[in-house]
Amino acid sequence: MSRSYLFIPGNVPRMLQNMDIYEADALIIDWEDSISINEKDEARDLTNAYLKKMSPSQDLYIRINSEPGLYDEDLNLIKTLNITGVVLPKSDVSTLKKLTEDLKNTSLKIIALIESPHAFFELEKIAEIDCVEALFLGGEDLSSALGAKREALGEALMFARSKIIMAAKAYHKKCIDTPWPTNNESDFYIDLNLSVKLGFDSKACIHPNQVLPINEAFSPSKLIIKEAKKIIAMHKKTGKMRFSLDGKMIDKPIIMRAQSLIKKAIQYNIIKGENDDL
């Protein structure tokens, strides 16, 4: 499970070259909005050249173009690259079904970028599609489409965020929150805290300096890990799925949550193993 998704423009050599060092859990090379129409070929060529030499250890996605023509050229190259999957902008049921069909002989995963009002009326159907591994809120395009003003407190996107989280959780898909678009640190932290509180699994960003705060915010805290370890230890000791611990009733969902939390803590290198001291 990735906590952070870092966007890297596909036509900037220095950024491509260094994208693997910023400690993001997943990387998204962008061929869409950050690349002007006359630089699309350059972005494809640079990405192709880079991936022939380097293979980052992180999950690697490419945000392709959805416009006919560009879409086809992107897919032709995508199928030859060693990547994790594709981010489809302006996703809806029909475009996702087409992409699923176009990628049927590959193992590429799909992240559905939800950024049009129309997509929200078919969100459940989008979440149902097998190849879709995550729902990703595209906050900037959606705000523009709605005529809403996006601010750190997040009122403009509250409904959209909640709906995406509901749909993703209902269909066991990951949900990724939209990037905070400016370098204003205090606004970024307000926006990030909101992402965590609402229940997103992860957040995307466009600036590498936002990666570590995102990773930290989506990592279990040491206190929570300690509690989870106590729960698992008691469960192992008693062999029971229901018991009392420090005055609280513990049952199956809580034990399972504790187990998944410890798994995350190991994955994120916070602890080395279940018995590791904090």
For another protein, the closer CB: 55 or 238: 55
Count the site residues for another protein by CB under 8 A: 12
Q: What is the CA radius of gyration of the chain?
A: 20
CA distance 11 to 227: 46
Task: Classify each residue of 104-113 as buried b or exposed e, where b means 16 or more C-beta atoms within 10 Å of its C-beta.
Answer: eebebbbbbb
| 151 to 170: interface string for another protein, x by CB under 8 A | --------------------
| CB 13 to another protein: min, Å | 8
Distances in Å between the Cα of 86 and the Cα atoms of 55, 89, 108, 117, 180 are: 16, 10, 7, 21, 21
Site membership for another protein, residue 57 (CB under 8 A): no
In the range 169-208, which residues lie near another protein by CB under 8 A?
207-208
* Helix (H/G/I), strand (E/B), else coil: 58: coil
Q: Which of 1, 54, 170, 241 binds another protein (CB under 8 A)?
A: 54
| 95 to 134: interface string for another protein, x by CB under 8 A | ----------------------------------------
Distances in Å between the Cα of 142 and the Cα atoms of 115, 137, 166, 178, 268 are: 5, 8, 18, 10, 31
Query: Which residue in this structure is represented by tokens 């602890």?
Result: 271
Site membership for another protein, residue 42 (CB under 8 A): no
Beta bridge partners of 74: none
For another protein, the closer CB: 18 or 36: 18
Q: Which of 21, 37, 223, 249 binds another protein (CB under 8 A)?
A: 21
| 1 to 20: interface string for another protein, x by CB under 8 A | ----------------xx--
Site membership for another protein, residue 82 (CB under 8 A): no
Site membership for another protein, residue 221 (CB under 8 A): no
CA distance 211 to 203: 9
Q: Which of 57, 82, 269, 275 binds another protein (CB under 8 A)?
A: 269
Contact present, 8 and 28 (Cβ < 8 Å):
yes
Tokens of 185: 């640190």
Query: Alpha helices of 22-104 — where are they, by DSSP H?
Result: 40-53, 70-78, 93-102
| CB 211 to another protein: min, Å | 8
Site membership for another protein, residue 213 (CB under 8 A): no
For another protein, the closer CB: 183 or 260: 183
For another protein, the closer CB: 57 or 275: 57
CA distance 247 to 101: 53
| CB 16 to another protein: min, Å | 10
- The beta-strand segments (E) located in 142-265 are 174-177, 202-205, 243-245, 248-250
- Residues in contact with another protein by CB under 8 A are 17-18, 21-23, 53-54, 207-209, 211, 269
